[in-house]
Structure 1
Amino acid sequence: MLPYNLIDLIEKDETLSTCQIFNAEVCYGSGLKYCTGAATEAVRAEVEDFLLDNPMPDYFLGVCQDLKHFNFAVTVIILNDAGDRIVELHRKPACYCRFCPADPKTGRITKILFAPFRNLSQSDTVEVIDLLDPRSPWKDLQQRMGLRATRGNSAGDKVTSVRKFAILTKFPGVDSMYYPIPHYAALFKGSWYNIKRLIGEAKTSKLKNAAPNKIRHRGLPRYWDNLFTSRHIVDHKKREELMNEKKQEMLEFLTNVENTGAVLFTPKSISLDGKGESPDITVTSIDSRTKEGGDWESDIAEAVNMVCFTMRVHSNLVGSVPGKAQTNNSGSDKRELYTIAQALQKPYHDILFLVHEIIIRFNKWKGVHVDCPFMQLTTLDEHSDAKEVSAKSENNDTDND
């Protein structure tokens, strides 16, 4: 249940969920592209057909989110019946994927299980998918399809009939023998996640319970006596019912937000000497109302900054720092921050590209390479809001144009 527990924790915090989708969108950049500028017309047509059959934006944004949430993603490739072309590409959401026990001899995980584990019932089918060797999926695929010799066998021997394989994209960590541990797990092991939630709960409680002034209500016995006399009520039970009814009416009148500014008329009596006034009902405000939540404003900003720091997102880029008097960066600083955020996605792109490099190599698409340009925000003197920048281009000026 760990993936689902992580999702629940993320969805309970507005800043954390915003940082997660921001990181995924930055990792997406301008999208994954199969560059066919140096390919033949026939290869270019094959690539275009493949991309139409397998929409890349949906797939790539999905695996970016999986990597940002769980530090691993699972891609499934499907070969044609002849086993000489990869024709389909699918993303298996990581929260529904589980690894089978590793082979005790080789230490390799050989199968992936895919199922709705949150609400798994006996009627649900658990899909078992062969997993290519996570250390070298290209070599493993060649050996399974008989394109490379294995130990004790020549190429072409023991060709598998399986046409569906999973490829594991895993972000390496210092403590991930099996399932990788996301870096933001430190947020839940520390205190700031709970502090931020407690501040929100405290503000909610104060707005619900302390927005009206605290009231002390005093009612003299003669008020009730006069009320009973005017109603001609003698029975003690009926008197008690009337008292409870009047108390509830006064409570709703004094605490209901809709009655703000309304007037309460109360009778009063004059003392025998004519100097003192003795009201039958006295309503007193115990404490004056202060600005709700103002005393937590600095704490909220600190908690938000700690969450953004853990998620490696500058708070000004997602606009999550509350308050009117917050410090704000200039446009140049924000452009640099956004450029830095995109530059930090290179290791993610490198490990995500492996799946597509295998597809290109297996399908023998010569002159094709995969790339993921990012959007570089420009200055006003360049007469454009943004431009694409590729890290793989040999001639940056040409590709940018």
Structure 2
Amino acid sequence: MKTISVGGLTYLKEAQAIIAMKSSADLFKEPDEIKKIENYEIVPWGDDNNLPATVIEKMEKSEMVSSNLEFNVNVGYGTGVKPMRRVIEDNKIVGYEDVFDGPAYEFFEDNDIQGYFLEQLTDLKAFYNVFPEIVISNDKKKITSIRSKEAVFSRWGKAKDGKIPYHYYSAKWGDNPTKKDIVQTDVLDRFNPKASLEEYLRTGKYKNLRFIVPVNFPTPGRTYYQHAYWWSIFQSGWYDFSVMIPEAKKALMKNGFMVKKIIYLSPKYFESIFKEEGIDRNDKEAVQARVDKEHQNFNDFLTGSDKAGKGLVSQKEIIHSANGAKEEKYIEIVDIDTGKGGEFIEDSEEASNVISYAMGVHSSLIGSTPGKNKGSFSGTDKRELFLMKQALMKPFRDRLLRPLNLVKRFNGWDNDTVIAVPDIEFTTLDQNKSGQQETTKE
């Protein structure tokens, strides 16, 4: 039997079915051992030490995921981070005013803090881990600058006595870097970075006058690298389903194929076959021959051939976790609607809803749900939804402001100076002719 490759999928013409490979759940498997590069002891991020790059690659393949992330970053950014001064009357804070001079204002202007904040916010929403770096003056009296070290290029060193001592930075994690490709930086204590910084400077036990301030959004059971809650879309399979739909739809339109079924395969499906039959994964001819044979098995099974089901693998695996056990099927065959031009529309809508739900983006705010008659919420409803979304950004902002508050304390800025992220608040035109106003929260 001859199979046809369409849009990265395999089409079984006789059976009128598409075979689609799911991504492996092993993507988020915790590494079993520390990676040693000469005297550097590095904790891998993901089983292949390249998880952030893989997540980025997946983000870029989905307009839904990319748009939701951009929305979350934009909402978190507000009007940008800036220094402000408390207005106090009768020992009460009655408001805030912008700062246009002094050391805090100069520090913000000299360091492009808006760009720094945007980089940090983007990494925190994508990975739940950020790696801000502070630079100390030669006289050791001031923090002169702060930079965002890209999360995709950052790795932690092995913890010693409960503390992570080093941060390792390289653009070649996916290419087996050598020591000369890696920059090592001392890490401050995450509980009391100011005292930790002062101890480093007092003892002189540091590599250079640059230090990483450890910041993350905590998730259960993670020590080194956090596991973003929205990554559940990869493990559940909804992400795979959503990116397969346009490929299959394009193939149908371009080639005029009829598709009645779609076969979803786990990468473990063929892995189990190769292992059981002793096939070397590096033997490309043997691998391709066995894959072709299995495609014939699918075709026979779906067309009702006398050979139907012979040799067809139907294994499943029970995966245990702290939340209980779940079943991972190696194969799933799904019937699809073959109405005129309507293939996958309902599936696409369902996938979009689930992904947006996981990423905390309401479809009425971003227009994420395909189909007709969507987004019927009133302007008032949408404004309230947007205000709720802004309020939910506070814990993320609090984490990101921690390094800037360290700068404030170490550099001795005025106590009434606060680092704030004002929000844009949409209102009615009778209250403000522009339809929006600024609100400030510490």
TM-score under structure 2 length normalisation: 0.64
Pairwise CA distance, 1:136: 1.8
Q: Distance in 2 between matches of 1:296 and 1:309?
A: 20
Deviates more, 1:28-37 or 1:352-361: 28-37
Paired-residue identity, %: 31
Over 3 Å counting, the alpha-carbon distance change for 1:179 and 1:380 in structure 2 is same
Q: Distance in 2 between matches of 1:76 and 1:327?
A: 42
User: In the alignment, which residue of structure 2 is the partner of 1:370?
Assistant: 419
Match of 2:386 among 326, 335, 338: 338
User: In the alignment, which residue of structure 1 is the partner of 2:109?
Assistant: 52
* Deviation per residue, 1:198-237 (Å, 9 max, x gap): 222221111111189xxxxxxxxxxxxxxxxxxxxxxxxx
Over 3 Å counting, the alpha-carbon distance change for 1:12 and 1:124 in structure 2 is farther
Pairwise CA distance, 1:315: 1.3
User: In the alignment, which residue of structure 1 is the partner of 2:438?
Assistant: 388
Aligned AA for 2:72?
N
Over 3 Å counting, the alpha-carbon distance change for 1:74 and 1:45 in structure 2 is same
SS in 2 for 1:173: coil
Q: Distance in 2 between matches of 1:199 and 1:159?
A: 58
Pairwise CA distance, 1:24: 1.1
> Residue 43 of structure 1 contacts residue 365 of structure 1 at CA under 8 Å; is this kept in 2?
no
User: In the alignment, which residue of structure 1 is the partner of 2:132?
Assistant: 75
Q: Distance in 1 between matches of 2:343 and 2:75?
A: 35
Pairwise CA distance, 1:191: 2.5
SS in 2 for 1:184: helix
> Residue 71 of structure 1 contacts residue 171 of structure 1 at CA under 8 Å; is this kept in 2?
yes
Does 2:60 match 1:11? yes
TM-score under structure 1 length normalisation: 0.70
* Deviation per residue, 1:76-115 (Å, 9 max, x gap): 1111111001111111011110001111xx1211100011
> Residue 175 of structure 1 contacts residue 181 of structure 1 at CA under 8 Å; is this kept in 2?
no
> Residue 173 of structure 1 contacts residue 180 of structure 1 at CA under 8 Å; is this kept in 2?
yes
Match of 2:220 among 174, 177, 180: 174
Q: Distance in 2 between matches of 1:291 and 1:379?
A: 45
> Residue 36 of structure 1 contacts residue 44 of structure 1 at CA under 8 Å; is this kept in 2?
no
Does 2:71 match 1:22? yes
SS in 2 for 1:109: coil
Within-5 A mapping of 1:202-351: 202-210=248-256, 291-292=340-341, 294-351=342-399
User: In the alignment, which residue of structure 1 is the partner of 2:188?
Assistant: 132
SS in 2 for 1:53: helix
Answer 1 or 2: which has greater helix percent.
1
* Deviation per residue, 1:19-57 (Å, 9 max, x gap): 111111111111111114679xx9933223212210011
SS in 2 for 1:61: helix
SS in 1 for 2:114: helix
Does 2:155 match 1:98? yes
Within-5 A mapping of 1:128-167: 128-146=184-202, 158-160=203-205, 162-167=208-213
User: In the alignment, which residue of structure 1 is the partner of 2:51?
Assistant: 2
SS in 2 for 1:174: coil
SS in 2 for 1:74: strand
SS in 2 for 1:295: coil
Q: Distance in 1 between matches of 2:353 and 2:131?
A: 32
Match of 1:115 among 145, 150, 170: 170
Answer 1 or 2: which has greater strand percent.
2
Q: Distance in 2 between matches of 1:290 and 1:98?
A: 50
Q: Distance in 2 between matches of 1:174 and 1:194?
A: 25
SS in 1 for 2:106: helix
Aligned AA for 1:323?
G
Q: Distance in 1 between matches of 2:70 and 2:236?
A: 22
> Residue 251 of structure 2 contacts residue 257 of structure 2 at CA under 8 Å; is this kept in 1?
no
Q: Distance in 2 between matches of 1:141 and 1:9?
A: 38
User: In the alignment, which residue of structure 1 is the partner of 2:13?
Assistant: none
Q: CA RMSD in A?
A: 2.3
Q: Distance in 2 between matches of 1:209 and 1:176?
A: 47
Task: Mark the structure with the bigger radius of gyration.
Answer: 1
Q: Distance in 1 between matches of 2:180 and 2:83?
A: 37
User: How many residues align structurally?
Assistant: 300
Does 2:405 match 1:357? yes
Q: Distance in 1 between matches of 2:339 and 2:394?
A: 50
Does 2:82 match 1:33? yes
